[in-house]
Amino acid sequence: MMHVSILDIHPPIYLPDVVELAEESGYHRYWVTEHHSPMQSASPTLAMALAGGISERLRIGVGGVLLRLHQPLRVAGDIALLRTFYPGRVDVGIAGALASDARARALSGEPAAGDATFQARIEELIRLSTADAAVPCSALVRDEAPQFWLCGTSSASAALAGNLGLRYAYHHHLKPLAPERRADIGAVYRDAFRPSAVTTAPYFAIAAYGAVASTAPRAVEEWRGVSGATESPSFAGDSSSAADQICQLAGGYGADEIFIDCFSSSLAVRLEGLRAIADALRLSEPHAQPLTERVGTHSLGAG
């Protein structure tokens, strides 16, 4: 089964409604992000705690924590606390987005981590989360290990994820690839992959955003009105055509999983779009017939 999940970059005030919808509709994961803006959250572990308390089945995670800005020990302690309450449900996505020294010094008193330090912080975070009893709350943890991911938009991040033995999430929305190049990013990751203590086999996901409306032009209008973007969304149309586009996109990349979200003028319309896509993909029916007509060799389901 290929999973379908939600990556939420919207204002966190809507989190409870989206999490409830995701749980009810059969989405596999609900991920938050770390954004330092007036309308978004820069506290992903707090948002994960809220999402975990509202849900019972969903995997909860971040895509991803900006580890150039944070010390691994603090992140490891927060993750250990989450694992005591939500064992077997915690994902740790790490993002390497560049950050200003001013922002980094405001948060940690140190300059933003360069590439070598960033990689060292990834390795230290994994070590602290899997083999260091001195981490706060580590003695209370009730699962073996969280899932570790690297989130990125380049062949370099794909290769790094593979070399470190991590799961990899490519953000198609931020850097869409032409159809003839989409399979390349997954190939770079899988060719570079080396099994690790936290991931024994490669696992590749993509993230994409769009809108659902009665027609494709209306969906594009919804998308542009809310996102402010001039480029086309990754999917747009009624629920059936949006579901087809999502499947074709995931299949083109050869992805094991796809993260989505809908952009719309109101929370109700956004939730309606997410629910309609889930229904079209039959996410709440784990024993449904594989949708091979939509995504080639992949099938989608709650799993």
Please tell me the predicted confidence (pLDDT) of residue 302.
32
**How much of the chain exceeds pLDDT 70, in percent?**
89
Q: Within 10 Å of residue 192's Cβ, how many Cβ atoms?
A: 18
What pLDDT does 200 receive?
97
Q: Using the predicted structure, report yes or no on whether residue 292 has a pLDDT greater than 70.
A: no
135-194 pLDDT, tens per residue? 999 999 989 889 999 999 999 999 999 999 999 999 999 999 999 999 999 999 999 999
Q: Model pTM greater than 0.95? A: no
Per-domain boundaries in the chain: 3-295
Can you give the pLDDT at residue 275? 98
Confidence of residue 289 (pLDDT cuts 50, 70, 90): very low
Pick the range with the lowest mean pLDDT from 48-52, 129-133, 242-246: 129-133
CATH no. of 3-295: 3.20.20.30
